[in-house]
Amino acid sequence: MLAKNTVTQSLLIYSDMVVFGGTNIRTKPHAHHALEIILAKDLSMTVIHQAKHYTARGLILKADVMHQTYGEGAAIFLYFDPESLFARQFNILLRGEGILILEDEVSLKLIDFLGKGMRENVLESAIKEYLQETFFAHHPLYSFNPIVDERITKLIGFIKINLVGTLTIKELTEEVCLSESRLFHLFKTEIGIPIRKYILWCRIRKVLQLVIDGNSLTQAAQVSGFADVAHLNRTFVSFFGISPSHVLKSIL
């Protein structure tokens, strides 16, 4: 079994992003609702999307892009929550592209910064400041509006503190005084994904945090609102292409 401090150093959970360091990551076809940056520490990483192979030291993947990941050696993965400022900024930077290959120079600098940061439990603010300078300091986003509708912001907070058990649509609509159809439309417009899938994403994040805190997968699944470990496994594989237990075994 992995020691708790090993998990903590290789799986960092922040307010709206996750940083994961693993080895020999090979996944089934999957799509998740986070924007992802993949950085190969040892060798190039290959991402397969629509039968096309993208091989590089660093890649950015837009949310909900169906893909497989194939790599040997160590790699770092960053996942940004769909409602986060960075996910929405990167979506504009990608300009409709599903996958963007990073220049080796940029990738190597990020790998060096994050590799050191993971060893030292780097602050979230330091990572964001570095990413902001690297990607956006010289790319003004003239059309970017960082404001999310206050009703959706309120609802996201409600979801995150009520993940145990079943969150019904009736509860959600009552929380923000919206009809079901209006809620579905507004949430998808503001965040970019359906609300039910967003709730699953939040449950997975909570599972990872609970595992870091020393809970078993069974305990984490129950506390995070999954019916059982099998339900967690199915959801996790659909999002990441591998099981949560495989992720933990792959941690550096």
Give the start-to-end residue ranges of the domains of the chain: 4-136, 150-250
In degrees rounded to 5, what are phi and psi of residue 242? -145, 165
pLDDT digits (tens, 9 = 90+) for 226-240: 989 999 999 999 999
pLDDT digits (tens, 9 = 90+) for 169-184: 999 999 999 999 999 9
Tell me what percent of the residues of the chain surpass a pLDDT of 90: 46
CATH topology of domain 4-136: Jelly Rolls (2.60.120)
Tokens 């903590």 belong to which residue? 8
**What is the C-alpha separation between 118 and 1, in angstroms, rounded?**
20
Q: Is residue 4 scored above 70 in pLDDT? A: no
58-86: average pLDDT: 90
Average pLDDT, the chain: 86
Name the pTM for this structure: 0.84
pLDDT digits (tens, 9 = 90+) for 90-100: 887 787 788 99
How is 158-199 classified by DSSP, letter by letter? HHHT--SS---HHHHHHHHT--HHHHHHHHHHHHSS-HHHHH
How is the chain classified by DSSP, letter by letter? ---HHHHHHHEEE-SSEEEEEEES-B--SB--SSEEEEEESSS-EEEEETTEEEEESEEEE-TT--BEEE--SEEEEEEE-TTSHHHHHHHHHHTT-SEEEPPHHHHHHHHHHHHHHHHTT--HHHHHHHHIIIIITTS--TT---PPPHHHHHHHHHHHT--SS---HHHHHHHHT--HHHHHHHHHHHHSS-HHHHHHHHHHHHHHHHHHTT--HHHHHHHTT-SSHHHHHHHHHHHHSS-HHHHHHHB-
Label residue 191 exposed, middle or buried (CB < 10 Å: 0-12, 13-18, 19+).
buried
Q: Is residue 146 scored above 60 in pLDDT? A: yes
The whole-number pLDDT of residue 103 equals 92
**What is the C-alpha separation between 44 and 46, in angstroms, rounded?**
7
Range 150-250: architecture per CATH: Orthogonal Bundle (1.10)
**What is the C-alpha separation between 54 and 113, in angstroms, rounded?**
24
Which structure tokens are listed for 110? 């990020």
Tell me what percent of the residues of the chain surpass a pLDDT of 70: 92
Tell me if 90 sits within 8 A of 135, measured CB to CB: yes
Tell me if 55 sits within 8 A of 34, measured CB to CB: no
The whole-number pLDDT of residue 76 equals 92
